[in-house]
Structure 1
Amino acid sequence: MDDLDTRLLVTMRANPRIGLTELARQLGVARGTVQARVEKLTTRGVIENFGPTVSPAHAGHPILAFVWLQIAQGRLTEAVAALDAVPQILEVHGTSGQHDLLCRVVARTTDHLQEIIAHILASPAVQRTDTTIALSTQIPYRIEPLLQTP
Protein backbone atom coordinates (compact mmCIF):
# COMPACT_ATOMS: atom_id res chain seq x y z
CA MET A 1 0.00 0.00 0.00
CA ASP A 2 1.22 3.46 -0.83
CA ASP A 3 0.24 6.93 0.38
CA LEU A 4 -2.67 7.21 -2.09
CA ASP A 5 -4.12 3.89 -0.92
CA THR A 6 -3.88 5.07 2.68
CA ARG A 7 -5.51 8.44 1.94
CA LEU A 8 -8.21 6.67 -0.07
CA LEU A 9 -9.04 4.27 2.78
CA VAL A 10 -8.98 6.97 5.46
CA THR A 11 -11.28 9.18 3.36
CA MET A 12 -13.66 6.30 2.66
CA ARG A 13 -13.82 5.43 6.37
CA ALA A 14 -14.51 9.07 7.29
CA ASN A 15 -17.18 9.38 4.57
CA PRO A 16 -18.74 5.92 4.09
CA ARG A 17 -21.32 7.12 1.55
CA ILE A 18 -18.89 9.04 -0.62
CA GLY A 19 -19.04 8.41 -4.37
CA LEU A 20 -16.03 7.71 -6.54
CA THR A 21 -16.22 11.11 -8.24
CA GLU A 22 -16.23 13.01 -4.95
CA LEU A 23 -13.52 10.73 -3.58
CA ALA A 24 -11.35 11.51 -6.63
CA ARG A 25 -11.99 15.24 -6.18
CA GLN A 26 -11.00 15.18 -2.50
CA LEU A 27 -7.87 13.18 -3.23
CA GLY A 28 -6.92 15.26 -6.27
CA VAL A 29 -6.71 12.31 -8.68
CA ALA A 30 -8.69 11.04 -11.66
CA ARG A 31 -11.92 9.09 -11.07
CA GLY A 32 -10.47 6.16 -13.03
CA THR A 33 -7.49 6.06 -10.68
CA VAL A 34 -9.79 5.90 -7.67
CA GLN A 35 -11.92 3.18 -9.25
CA ALA A 36 -8.84 1.10 -10.14
CA ARG A 37 -7.41 1.50 -6.62
CA VAL A 38 -10.70 0.54 -4.96
CA GLU A 39 -10.97 -2.55 -7.20
CA LYS A 40 -7.34 -3.50 -6.42
CA LEU A 41 -7.84 -3.07 -2.67
CA THR A 42 -11.06 -5.10 -2.81
CA THR A 43 -9.44 -7.90 -4.83
CA ARG A 44 -6.52 -8.06 -2.37
CA GLY A 45 -8.96 -8.29 0.56
CA VAL A 46 -7.90 -4.98 2.10
CA ILE A 47 -11.44 -3.65 1.65
CA GLU A 48 -13.73 -6.37 2.96
CA ASN A 49 -17.16 -4.83 2.37
CA PHE A 50 -19.14 -1.71 1.62
CA GLY A 51 -22.08 -2.40 3.91
CA PRO A 52 -23.25 -0.16 6.72
CA THR A 53 -21.82 -0.58 10.18
CA VAL A 54 -24.73 -1.68 12.36
CA SER A 55 -24.85 -0.87 16.08
CA PRO A 56 -26.10 -3.95 17.96
CA ALA A 57 -26.97 -1.71 20.93
CA HIS A 58 -29.20 0.51 18.81
CA ALA A 59 -30.66 -2.58 17.11
CA GLY A 60 -32.00 -3.91 20.43
CA HIS A 61 -28.99 -5.73 21.91
CA PRO A 62 -27.31 -3.25 24.32
CA ILE A 63 -25.38 -5.86 26.36
CA LEU A 64 -21.90 -6.62 25.00
CA ALA A 65 -19.91 -9.47 26.51
CA PHE A 66 -16.73 -11.34 25.78
CA VAL A 67 -17.00 -15.05 26.47
CA TRP A 68 -13.88 -17.20 26.70
CA LEU A 69 -14.38 -20.90 25.99
CA GLN A 70 -12.42 -24.01 26.83
CA ILE A 71 -13.15 -26.72 24.28
CA ALA A 72 -13.05 -30.49 24.79
CA GLN A 73 -9.98 -32.07 23.19
CA GLY A 74 -10.53 -32.71 19.49
CA ARG A 75 -13.99 -31.10 19.37
CA LEU A 76 -13.18 -27.65 17.99
CA THR A 77 -15.13 -28.16 14.74
CA GLU A 78 -18.20 -29.30 16.69
CA ALA A 79 -17.93 -26.32 19.06
CA VAL A 80 -17.60 -23.81 16.21
CA ALA A 81 -20.64 -25.32 14.45
CA ALA A 82 -22.70 -24.96 17.64
CA LEU A 83 -21.55 -21.36 18.10
CA ASP A 84 -22.28 -20.51 14.47
CA ALA A 85 -25.93 -21.38 15.10
CA VAL A 86 -26.27 -18.64 17.77
CA PRO A 87 -27.12 -15.31 16.08
CA GLN A 88 -26.07 -13.24 19.11
CA ILE A 89 -22.48 -14.45 18.71
CA LEU A 90 -20.96 -11.80 16.45
CA GLU A 91 -17.38 -13.10 16.28
CA VAL A 92 -15.37 -16.12 17.36
CA HIS A 93 -11.58 -16.10 17.45
CA GLY A 94 -9.22 -19.00 18.14
CA THR A 95 -6.75 -17.98 20.83
CA SER A 96 -3.58 -19.13 22.52
CA GLY A 97 -3.27 -19.49 26.28
CA GLN A 98 -5.60 -21.19 28.73
CA HIS A 99 -8.73 -20.58 26.62
CA ASP A 100 -9.39 -21.92 23.14
CA LEU A 101 -11.94 -19.45 21.75
CA LEU A 102 -12.99 -15.87 22.39
CA CYS A 103 -16.56 -14.92 21.45
CA ARG A 104 -18.01 -11.43 21.09
CA VAL A 105 -21.62 -11.78 22.21
CA VAL A 106 -24.54 -9.33 22.36
CA ALA A 107 -27.80 -9.69 24.29
CA ARG A 108 -31.00 -7.81 25.01
CA THR A 109 -30.62 -8.10 28.82
CA THR A 110 -28.36 -9.81 31.34
CA ASP A 111 -30.98 -12.56 31.66
CA HIS A 112 -30.83 -13.03 27.90
CA LEU A 113 -27.01 -13.21 28.12
CA GLN A 114 -27.34 -15.91 30.76
CA GLU A 115 -29.62 -17.89 28.40
CA ILE A 116 -27.09 -17.56 25.59
CA ILE A 117 -24.27 -18.79 27.84
CA ALA A 118 -26.42 -21.71 29.01
CA HIS A 119 -27.06 -22.57 25.36
CA ILE A 120 -23.32 -22.45 24.64
CA LEU A 121 -22.61 -24.71 27.62
CA ALA A 122 -25.25 -27.19 26.43
CA SER A 123 -22.84 -28.25 23.69
CA PRO A 124 -20.78 -31.25 24.82
CA ALA A 125 -17.86 -29.71 22.94
CA VAL A 126 -17.71 -26.77 25.37
CA GLN A 127 -16.18 -27.56 28.75
CA ARG A 128 -16.14 -24.15 30.42
CA THR A 129 -16.91 -20.48 29.84
CA ASP A 130 -15.58 -17.31 31.41
CA THR A 131 -17.63 -14.18 30.70
CA THR A 132 -16.84 -10.49 30.97
CA ILE A 133 -19.53 -7.87 30.35
CA ALA A 134 -18.33 -4.65 28.72
CA LEU A 135 -19.47 -1.63 30.73
CA SER A 136 -18.40 0.92 28.12
CA THR A 137 -16.40 1.27 24.94
CA GLN A 138 -13.38 3.46 25.54
CA ILE A 139 -11.88 3.14 22.05
CA PRO A 140 -14.25 1.86 19.37
CA TYR A 141 -13.02 -0.21 16.44
CA ARG A 142 -10.62 1.86 14.42
CA ILE A 143 -8.17 1.25 11.61
CA GLU A 144 -7.05 4.75 10.62
CA PRO A 145 -4.11 5.04 13.09
CA LEU A 146 -2.76 1.71 11.85
CA LEU A 147 -3.10 2.75 8.22
CA GLN A 148 -1.28 6.00 8.88
CA THR A 149 1.64 4.34 10.69
CA PRO A 150 4.71 3.97 8.47
Structure 2
Amino acid sequence: MAVDELDTRILRLMIDQPRTSVREYARILGIARGTLQARIDRLERDGVITGTGPVLSPAALGHPVLAFVHIEVTQGHLDEVGDALAEVPEIVEAFSITGGGDLLTRVVARNNGHLEDVIQRLINLPGVVRTRTEMALRERVPHRMLPLVESVGRATRAAR
Protein backbone atom coordinates (compact mmCIF):
# COMPACT_ATOMS: atom_id res chain seq x y z
CA MET A 1 0.00 0.00 0.00
CA ALA A 2 1.44 3.33 -1.02
CA VAL A 3 1.65 5.99 1.66
CA ASP A 4 1.59 9.42 0.06
CA GLU A 5 2.72 12.79 1.41
CA LEU A 6 -0.63 13.54 3.09
CA ASP A 7 -0.69 10.09 4.71
CA THR A 8 2.83 10.76 6.00
CA ARG A 9 1.75 14.10 7.46
CA ILE A 10 -1.28 12.45 9.10
CA LEU A 11 0.78 9.62 10.58
CA ARG A 12 3.49 12.00 11.83
CA LEU A 13 0.83 14.09 13.57
CA MET A 14 -0.84 11.02 15.07
CA ILE A 15 2.52 9.79 16.40
CA ASP A 16 3.60 13.20 17.73
CA GLN A 17 0.22 14.16 19.20
CA PRO A 18 -1.67 10.92 19.91
CA ARG A 19 -4.28 12.49 22.20
CA THR A 20 -5.45 15.13 19.75
CA SER A 21 -8.96 14.84 18.24
CA VAL A 22 -9.62 14.13 14.57
CA ARG A 23 -11.21 17.57 14.28
CA GLU A 24 -8.01 19.19 15.61
CA TYR A 25 -5.82 17.07 13.30
CA ALA A 26 -7.90 18.28 10.35
CA ARG A 27 -7.51 21.89 11.46
CA ILE A 28 -3.72 21.53 11.88
CA LEU A 29 -3.36 19.84 8.49
CA GLY A 30 -5.70 22.28 6.76
CA ILE A 31 -7.94 19.56 5.31
CA ALA A 32 -11.60 18.64 5.70
CA ARG A 33 -12.48 16.41 8.64
CA GLY A 34 -14.18 13.95 6.24
CA THR A 35 -11.04 13.72 4.11
CA LEU A 36 -8.93 13.05 7.20
CA GLN A 37 -11.35 10.44 8.52
CA ALA A 38 -11.42 8.67 5.14
CA ARG A 39 -7.60 8.60 5.09
CA ILE A 40 -7.42 7.24 8.66
CA ASP A 41 -10.06 4.60 7.86
CA ARG A 42 -8.07 3.50 4.78
CA LEU A 43 -4.82 3.36 6.75
CA GLU A 44 -6.55 1.19 9.37
CA ARG A 45 -8.21 -1.03 6.75
CA ASP A 46 -4.88 -1.50 4.95
CA GLY A 47 -3.17 -2.46 8.22
CA VAL A 48 -0.86 0.57 8.37
CA ILE A 49 -2.47 1.75 11.61
CA THR A 50 -2.80 -1.28 13.86
CA GLY A 51 -3.82 0.30 17.16
CA THR A 52 -4.46 3.48 19.05
CA GLY A 53 -4.11 2.44 22.66
CA PRO A 54 -1.57 3.73 25.16
CA VAL A 55 2.04 2.53 25.08
CA LEU A 56 2.75 0.98 28.48
CA SER A 57 6.02 0.74 30.38
CA PRO A 58 6.78 -2.69 31.86
CA ALA A 59 9.28 -0.99 34.22
CA ALA A 60 6.57 1.32 35.58
CA LEU A 61 4.40 -1.78 36.06
CA GLY A 62 7.11 -3.26 38.30
CA HIS A 63 8.94 -5.29 35.65
CA PRO A 64 12.19 -3.38 34.91
CA VAL A 65 14.22 -6.43 33.79
CA LEU A 66 14.14 -7.08 30.04
CA ALA A 67 15.55 -10.17 28.39
CA PHE A 68 15.39 -11.82 24.99
CA VAL A 69 14.93 -15.57 25.23
CA HIS A 70 15.68 -17.77 22.21
CA ILE A 71 13.75 -21.02 22.31
CA GLU A 72 14.57 -24.18 20.39
CA VAL A 73 11.52 -26.35 19.76
CA THR A 74 11.09 -30.02 18.91
CA GLN A 75 10.25 -30.35 15.22
CA GLY A 76 6.54 -30.20 14.57
CA HIS A 77 5.69 -28.50 17.88
CA LEU A 78 6.13 -24.83 16.97
CA ASP A 79 2.42 -23.99 17.03
CA GLU A 80 1.74 -25.69 20.36
CA VAL A 81 4.76 -24.01 21.98
CA GLY A 82 3.65 -20.67 20.52
CA ASP A 83 0.19 -21.17 22.00
CA ALA A 84 1.72 -22.02 25.39
CA LEU A 85 3.88 -18.88 25.29
CA ALA A 86 0.74 -16.79 24.94
CA GLU A 87 -0.24 -18.01 28.42
CA VAL A 88 2.90 -16.57 30.05
CA PRO A 89 2.11 -12.96 31.03
CA GLU A 90 5.78 -11.95 31.24
CA ILE A 91 6.22 -12.65 27.52
CA VAL A 92 5.35 -9.38 25.82
CA GLU A 93 6.32 -10.49 22.29
CA ALA A 94 7.22 -13.72 20.53
CA PHE A 95 8.35 -14.36 16.97
CA SER A 96 9.23 -17.47 15.00
CA ILE A 97 12.69 -16.89 13.55
CA THR A 98 15.47 -18.33 11.41
CA GLY A 99 18.97 -18.86 12.72
CA GLY A 100 20.01 -20.10 16.14
CA GLY A 101 16.59 -21.01 17.42
CA ASP A 102 12.96 -21.37 16.48
CA LEU A 103 11.37 -18.64 18.58
CA LEU A 104 12.54 -15.32 19.98
CA THR A 105 10.66 -13.89 22.94
CA ARG A 106 10.85 -10.56 24.70
CA VAL A 107 10.43 -11.24 28.41
CA VAL A 108 10.00 -8.79 31.27
CA ALA A 109 10.51 -9.57 34.94
CA ARG A 110 10.47 -7.97 38.40
CA ASN A 111 14.10 -8.95 39.08
CA ASN A 112 16.70 -11.52 38.04
CA GLY A 113 15.21 -14.21 40.28
CA HIS A 114 11.80 -13.70 38.73
CA LEU A 115 13.40 -13.89 35.26
CA GLU A 116 14.95 -17.23 36.21
CA ASP A 117 11.50 -18.47 37.30
CA VAL A 118 10.01 -17.43 33.96
CA ILE A 119 12.82 -19.15 32.04
CA GLN A 120 12.31 -22.33 34.07
CA ARG A 121 8.63 -22.21 33.19
CA LEU A 122 9.59 -21.93 29.50
CA ILE A 123 12.07 -24.81 29.71
CA ASN A 124 9.35 -27.02 31.17
CA LEU A 125 6.87 -26.41 28.35
CA PRO A 126 6.20 -29.53 26.25
CA GLY A 127 8.14 -29.25 22.99
CA VAL A 128 10.86 -26.89 24.29
CA VAL A 129 14.35 -28.36 23.79
CA ARG A 130 16.47 -25.52 25.20
CA THR A 131 16.58 -21.79 25.76
CA ARG A 132 19.26 -19.13 25.51
CA THR A 133 18.81 -15.81 27.28
CA GLU A 134 20.29 -12.40 26.57
CA MET A 135 19.72 -9.59 29.08
CA ALA A 136 19.05 -6.06 27.84
CA LEU A 137 21.23 -3.49 29.57
CA ARG A 138 19.92 -0.21 28.18
CA GLU A 139 17.50 0.79 25.46
CA ARG A 140 19.48 2.57 22.72
CA VAL A 141 16.71 3.17 20.18
CA PRO A 142 13.17 3.12 21.55
CA HIS A 143 10.39 1.59 19.50
CA ARG A 144 9.66 4.04 16.74
CA MET A 145 7.90 4.19 13.41
CA LEU A 146 8.13 7.82 12.34
CA PRO A 147 11.52 7.53 10.53
CA LEU A 148 10.13 4.59 8.52
CA VAL A 149 6.90 6.44 7.72
CA GLU A 150 8.86 9.45 6.51
CA SER A 151 11.19 7.25 4.45
CA VAL A 152 8.24 5.51 2.76
CA GLY A 153 6.62 8.87 2.08
CA ARG A 154 9.84 10.19 0.50
CA ALA A 155 10.20 7.07 -1.65
CA THR A 156 6.59 7.38 -2.87
CA ARG A 157 7.14 11.06 -3.70
CA ALA A 158 10.41 10.27 -5.55
CA ALA A 159 8.73 7.52 -7.60
CA ARG A 160 6.28 10.00 -9.13
TM over 0.5: same fold?
A: yes
Counterpart Cα distance in 2 of 1:84 and 1:20? 34
Cα distance in 2 between the residues matched to 1:41 and 1:136: 33
Q: Deviations over 1:5-36 (max 9, x none)?
A: 01101110011101011101111111111111
Q: Which residue of 1 aligns with 2:158?
A: none
SS at match of 2:101: coil
Normalising to structure 1: TM-score of the pair? 0.97
Q: Which runs of 5+ in 2 are unaligned?
A: 156-160
1:111 is matched with 113
Give the CA deviation at 1:73. 1.0
Give the structure-2-normalised TM-score.
Answer: 0.91
What does residue 40 of structure 1 align with?
Answer: 42
Structure 2 counterpart of 1:44, one-letter code: D
For residue 59 of structure 1, report the CA deviation from its aligned partner: 1.1
Deviation for aligned residue 1:37: 0.6
For structure 1, list consecutive stretches of 5 or more residues without a partner in the other structure: none
**In the alignment, which residue of structure 2 is the partner of 1:102?**
104
- What's the counterpart of residue 9 of structure 1? 11
For residues 78-93 of structure 1, what are the structure 2 equivalents within 5 Å? Answer: 78-93=80-95
Instruction: Spell out the pairing of 1:138-149 with structure 2 (5 A cutoff).
Output: 138-149=140-151
Tell me which of the two structures has the higher relative contact order, counting C-alpha pairs closer than 8 angstroms and 6 or more residues apart: 2
Structure-2 separation of matches of 1:54 and 1:124: 31
Question: 1:17 is aligned with what amino acid?
Answer: R
The Cα of 1:98 is off from its aligned counterpart by 2.1
Deviation above 6 Å: which 4+ runs of structure 1?
none
Match of 2:58 in 1: 56
Q: How far apart in 2 are the matches of 1:147 and 1:105?
A: 27
Q: Percent identity?
A: 47
1:135 to 125, 134, 137: 137
**Count of aligned pairs:** 150
1:79 & 1:21 partners in 2: Cα distance?
45
Give the deviation of 1:126 after TM superposition. Answer: 0.6
How far is the alpha carbon of 1:58 from its aligned partner? 0.7
What's the CA shift for 1:124?
Answer: 2.5
Residue 66 of structure 1 corresponds to which residue in structure 2?
68
What is the CA-CA distance between 1:45 and the residue it aligns to?
Answer: 1.1
Quote how far apart the aligned CAs of 1:43 are: 1.0
Partner deviation per Cα, 1:76-132 (whole Å, 9 max, x = no partner): 112112111101101110111121110011001110000000000001311111111
